[in-house]
Structure 1
Amino acid sequence: MAMDDQLANDPVVFLNEINLLTEHHKAYCDLYGHYVHTMFGDRAATSLAETPYLPVRAFKNFDLKSVPDSEVVKIMTSSGTTGQVSRIYLDKETSQAQSRKLVEVFSIAFSKSRFPMLVIDAENTVADRRKFSARTAAINGFSMFSRGRDFALDDELSVDIDRVQAFAESNRDNRIFIFGFTSIVWLNFVQMLRRQNVRLNLSNSFLLHGGGWKKLADQKISDAMFKDEVREWTGCSDIRNYYGMVEQTGTIFMECEHGNMHAAPGSDALIRDTSSLDALPHGREGLIQVFSSIQKSYPGHSLLTEDVGFTLDGASCSCGNRNTIVKINGRLQKAEIRGCSDAYNS
């Protein structure tokens, strides 16, 4: 299929891109260069499993950038429950590359069209143009696919039923794009609709949500339960999850129509044993390592996350996307909760 060719990474080309980024960041980020030299040596990786990885926690403890301060145009932040903040430094080239990648991933899943967009959040979340939290950035980033944007929640994060119904009515002849962080969609939207016994008619919509699963996991809310509740109270049946992080903004693992989150073109993932950190084959659970070929201004191209899960061969999915499938099982025990989407003040 043509789609297979379009979506499948060439492993040789991709590894070369990752190796070039490793050398680039070693040359322009002294701290990263010392780290790689000490921990991994200086030999070029012959596989993704040999690629030096940087723990995502490093961005909470160190300023890591590969461009001079004069070229930094944006600093992305994500806050954890301890108050530690990751700081991600973007230059113009990397910021633009992130936007292009987001367009590519979204277009593969939903088309290149623009849609009326209902954001399951409060408008004041994006009111401060100087604020670049992960939550704010995601809303503004996905808004590039909007053709008119409205917000479902008031400033206290309570659902504004009248406003949502008016939006739905005015766009009843259009396909609607609904976006929000998972925990906010569940707690502040779906569960509030349930408590007020209000069913919306958003059957002409698709929902994209991501992040914030920790609160739902604590309540034993599964992905299937989440989708069932969304369908019951909104009528929306096209519900897609995505996996991403501020440390690799733009490069996300998008859920296909068969419920599998595939790596984007120009990205990949593998699993490492939680004890030995050895690379594991498909199907084995461990720490998720993520790769992306667009991070030029900071060493975010090969990151060891604190998320636990496993991978599958993308060819096992009938959607046509042959890139690696990632399944998320939770967070590493005793790891700090990332919090960039769970914390309302992010």
Structure 2
Amino acid sequence: MDAWDFEDLALELFRFQISENEVYKSYVAARKIEVSQVKTLESIPFLPIRFFKDFPVVCGQEADFDSFYSSSGTTGVITSKHYVWSETWYLRHAQEIFEKKYGALDNYHVLALLPAYLERPGSSLVSMAKRFIKVSKSAHSGFYLYNQDELLEKMTSLGNDGRKVLLLGVTFALLDLAESGKDFAPMENLIVMETGGMKGRRKEMIREEVHDILKAFFGVESIHSEYGMTELMSQAYSKGDGKYTLPATMRVMLRDVNDPLSWSSRSQGGINVIDLANFHSCAFIETQDLGKYDENGLLEVLGRFDNSEIRGCNLMVQ
């Protein structure tokens, strides 16, 4: 999909969603944007991600959707809901993105270390991991909660296996394992992939510090990363250093950190995502993440805006 095709599809999707999505339509109207003047990607209005917390962001009616994914959150924080047109479609899409980047899943043993996510219903990450485990067709693939010894034994037993071992883990759980004092022998066929998130379990750390700890424990040269969220149907992947390549369905544009309605004049800013896979909800999302592009055009996610959750809650109260 070239740039012209992406822009054409995005503008067509904007015209559809401004007609069929009542939440998006109301937001754009409140900003007094003339829809007929939206003719480029840069002129498309982006919906602040906090709207997923209070409203059904859907094209059509909420009753038309059988299920939704919900975000994780600390106690007292309102969680997002992303209504799903078809979970089957989402999982197939997620598989296609992964396999285009990493190859067929049946070449992997998939070990998912996802505590907190497994302990609540409605996680899109858990659904994706279940799909990966199933498609791998490996009797060794599976989920792990807090059973670190069992996980390490399983990994060690697969060290000389012909398949690659994908350890897919939430960041705080991988750090807990790396700092457990347990022994682990390096494996040549191991890929460690962190999905982000401390979820109130640990203090926030910069990516380089996290990756250095994980690389030292697992004996790998790089830590892979997955960038996704409840409000998006697509994912981006990094094979190291937190530098992401985007799938064909995604585009990231950077806004000014002090003026969310203006584009950044620098190579870094607030992340606005166009996800064409969000055709049933809203494809144009203003996130609370900060990012930058490097000299090769790769996206680096720098973290979240300070107090972004608090700021969003205050706005909703007002």
The 8 Å contact of residues 158 and 165 in structure 2, kept in 1 or not, is answered as: no
Q: Quick check: 1:88 aligned with 2:82?
A: yes
The 8 Å contact of residues 211 and 244 in structure 1, kept in 2 or not, is answered as: no
Counterpart of 1:51 in structure 2: which amino acid?
I
Q: Quick check: 1:179 aligned with 2:168?
A: yes
The 8 Å contact of residues 97 and 294 in structure 1, kept in 2 or not, is answered as: no
Counterpart of 2:230 in structure 1: which amino acid?
V
Aligned residues: 304
Counterpart of 1:199 in structure 2: which amino acid?
F
The 8 Å contact of residues 240 and 259 in structure 1, kept in 2 or not, is answered as: yes
Distance of 2:164 and 2:23 partners within structure 1: 48
Counterpart of 1:275 in structure 2: which amino acid?
N
Task: Give the C-alpha shift of residue 144 in structure 1.
Answer: 4.8
Task: Give the C-alpha shift of residue 86 in structure 1.
Answer: 0.8
Equivalent position of 1:342 in the other structure? none
Equivalent position of 1:334 in the other structure? 307
Relative to structure 1, is the Cα distance of residues 99 and 136 closer, same or farther in structure 2, using a 3 angstrom cutoff? closer
Equivalent position of 1:11 in the other structure? 3
The 8 Å contact of residues 244 and 252 in structure 1, kept in 2 or not, is answered as: yes
Equivalent position of 2:289 in the other structure? 307
The 8 Å contact of residues 75 and 89 in structure 1, kept in 2 or not, is answered as: yes
Q: Quick check: 1:274 aligned with 2:257?
A: yes
Task: Give the C-alpha shift of residue 77 in structure 1.
Answer: 0.4
Aligned partner of residue 188 in structure 2, secondary structure: coil
Distance of 2:117 and 2:188 partners within structure 1: 26
Distance of 1:310 and 1:63 partners within structure 2: 30
Distance of 1:184 and 1:273 partners within structure 2: 33
Aligned partner of residue 45 in structure 2, secondary structure: coil
Higher mean alpha-carbon deviation, 324-333 vs 49-58, is at 324-333
Aligned partner of residue 43 in structure 1, secondary structure: helix
Distance of 1:254 and 1:23 partners within structure 2: 29
What TM-score do the two structures reach when normalised by structure 2?
0.84
Q: Quick check: 1:52 aligned with 2:35?
A: no
Aligned partner of residue 152 in structure 2, secondary structure: helix
The 8 Å contact of residues 307 and 331 in structure 1, kept in 2 or not, is answered as: yes
Relative to structure 1, is the Cα distance of residues 199 and 332 closer, same or farther in structure 2, using a 3 angstrom cutoff? same
Per-residue CA deviations over 1:150-169 (Å, capped at 9, x if unaligned) read 3344xxx252x145314431
* Higher RCO structure (Cα 8 Å, ≥6 apart): 1
Distance of 2:241 and 2:123 partners within structure 1: 31
Counterpart of 1:179 in structure 2: which amino acid?
L
The 8 Å contact of residues 290 and 303 in structure 1, kept in 2 or not, is answered as: yes
Residue ranges of structure 2 left out of the alignment (5+ in a row):
312-318
Per-residue CA deviations over 1:23-52 (Å, capped at 9, x if unaligned) read 222222223212223322212533222111
Distance of 1:257 and 1:216 partners within structure 2: 24
Task: Give the C-alpha shift of residue 286 in structure 1.
Answer: 1.9
Equivalent position of 2:156 in the other structure? 168
Counterpart of 1:52 in structure 2: which amino acid?
P
Equivalent in 111, 119, 134 of residue 112 of structure 2: 119
Relative to structure 1, is the Cα distance of residues 113 and 166 closer, same or farther in structure 2, using a 3 angstrom cutoff? closer
Relative to structure 1, is the Cα distance of residues 22 and 256 closer, same or farther in structure 2, using a 3 angstrom cutoff? same
Distance of 2:10 and 2:78 partners within structure 1: 28
Residue identity over aligned pairs, in percent, reads 19
Distance of 2:257 and 2:60 partners within structure 1: 33
Q: Quick check: 1:34 aligned with 2:26?
A: yes
Task: Give the C-alpha shift of residue 101 in structure 1.
Answer: 3.1
Higher mean alpha-carbon deviation, 105-114 vs 231-240, is at 231-240
Distance of 2:187 and 2:310 partners within structure 1: 33
| Superposed counterparts of 1:1-346, under 5 Å | 9-39=1-31, 40-81=33-74, 82-92=76-86, 95-114=87-106, 115-122=108-115, 126=118, 131-148=121-138, 149-153=141-145, 157-159=146-148, 161-170=149-158, 172-173=160-161, 174-187=163-176, 189-192=177-180, 195-196=181-182, 198-212=183-197, 218=203, 221-249=205-233, 251-256=234-239, 259-277=242-260, 278-281=262-265, 283=267, 285-299=268-282, 301-312=283-294, 316-317=295-296, 324-336=297-309
Residue ranges of structure 1 left out of the alignment (5+ in a row):
1-8, 318-323, 339-346
Relative to structure 1, is the Cα distance of residues 144 and 270 closer, same or farther in structure 2, using a 3 angstrom cutoff? farther
Higher mean alpha-carbon deviation, 289-298 vs 134-143, is at 134-143
Following superposition, which runs of at least 4 residues in structure 1 exceed 4 angstroms of deviation?
Answer: 124-128, 213-217
Distance of 1:145 and 1:223 partners within structure 2: 30
Task: Give the C-alpha shift of residue 243 in structure 1.
Answer: 1.6
Output the aligned Cα RMSD.
2.8
Equivalent position of 2:314 in the other structure? none
